[in-house]
Structure 1
């Protein structure tokens, strides 16, 4: 982890509890999944909706992969997201452990290798392993507590019934779905493609730099050199349709 990533993580910790969803009283009792199956839970999960989470405000298009080292039995989590501060895709890898692997295997702790003093406690609230999962964290505060809820799916673009099933389960567990916010997935397809092609180097290009958008020149040349084709999607006809 470089200095920039470490600084970013420290900033994430500072804002982690700001703007969270507050509730009165103590953290509620949540279910223990005695037969939680790590082998089925491993792999890629894409964030779809969540409560407001302060430390995720530095990025968008979050997804993550749980990986098991079969030599040691250790499990790590590789988080992918688009860093809106650095304007580039970012990967963070941390360790995931269950403090009580037999008594509460779905209650997990996440730590970053170079930030061992900071632990993030969360749990798998419910999952069908194949389509969706609900992750949850509760942090006691001087008055009341804050909650964080995430809906994640195996597919980056799940069908409606998958989200519906996840939300129905969330309601049955006493969680309020009105606090859920949809993940900004505008960069998801491009981000995923670049993650799957790590040999390609991204150019650090300002998204709104003055006179630095090559698309303007490309469009100008295309308008001059290419024949006119009406937009069929907007109601026009293509030359083939005219024939």
Structure 2
């Protein structure tokens, strides 16, 4: 029985990092997400704490579309501790009729699982709010991100994201600002972590 608990923690911990008592809350997603408009480079402005991003700065996510409807994902960051740039590649697929509810997989991870990647809100040109929640019955693990098209977004852009977060009753208490200072664009790498 202990190995089941450990497996749940590993899977839940990898998918989302903040544990909560109870199941996943109901949230609203973008109606009819236009994947083509969503593609491209996004800068991480804020996030819930995630172990896999510990010490990461200059975090970006780049999305590319494939003919089969799959979305390629490349997440990059620089370690604020060592200065080493790293990246991880994965893909997202649509598993339901709701285009905003994607399932994200990183094949190089030691444990393979589909992590929820739900787009709660976006205007495609300045911000996106992304949600992930894995339900384990008596508890759930949650993560959230605010992505922006600019490394240094205007306060008005972040306010739009906060409105969506508040509307969905997602706690802002767990958000941490991502360090986007002193980020050399050429520091990006194809190294898989």
Superposition TM-score, scaled by structure 2 size: 0.80
Q: Name the CA distance, whole Å, in 2 between partners of 1:113 and 1:17.
A: 13
State the partner residue of 1:160: 155
Equivalences for 1:194-213 in 2 at 5 Å?
A: 194-195=187-188
Contact 2:12 2:141 in 1 (8 A): no
Q: Between Structure 1 and Structure 2, which shows a larger proportion of strand residues? A: 2
Structure 1 runs not aligned, ≥5 long: 1-12, 199-243
Q: Name the CA distance, whole Å, in 1 between partners of 2:108 and 2:143.
A: 24
Q: Matched residue pairs, number?
A: 179
Q: Which has the larger radius of gyration?
A: 1
The structural deviation recorded for 1:171 is 0.4
Q: Name the CA distance, whole Å, in 1 between partners of 2:80 and 2:72.
A: 24
1:25–1:142 Cα change, 3 Å: closer
What is the SS of the residue equivalent to 1:162? helix
Q: Between Structure 1 and Structure 2, which shows a larger proportion of helix residues? A: 1
Contact 1:18 1:54 in 2 (8 A): no
CA RMSD in angstroms comes to: 2.6
Which of 80, 86, 89 aligns to 2:85? It is 89
Is 1:117 the counterpart of 2:112? The answer is yes
State the partner residue of 1:69: 66
State the partner residue of 2:7: none
Which structure is higher in RCO with an 8 Å CA cutoff and minimum separation 6? Answer: 2
The structural deviation recorded for 1:114 is 4.2
1:163–1:148 Cα change, 3 Å: same
Which of 27, 31, 38 aligns to 2:28? It is 31
Q: Name the CA distance, whole Å, in 1 between partners of 2:98 and 2:123.
A: 18
What is the SS of the residue equivalent to 1:110? strand
Q: Name the CA distance, whole Å, in 2 between partners of 1:19 and 1:37.
A: 25
State the partner residue of 2:75: 79
1:17–1:95 Cα change, 3 Å: closer
The structural deviation recorded for 1:157 is 0.7
Equivalences for 1:79-228 in 2 at 5 Å?
A: 79-83=75-79, 87-100=83-96, 103-115=97-109, 117-141=112-136, 143-188=138-183, 190=184, 192-195=185-188
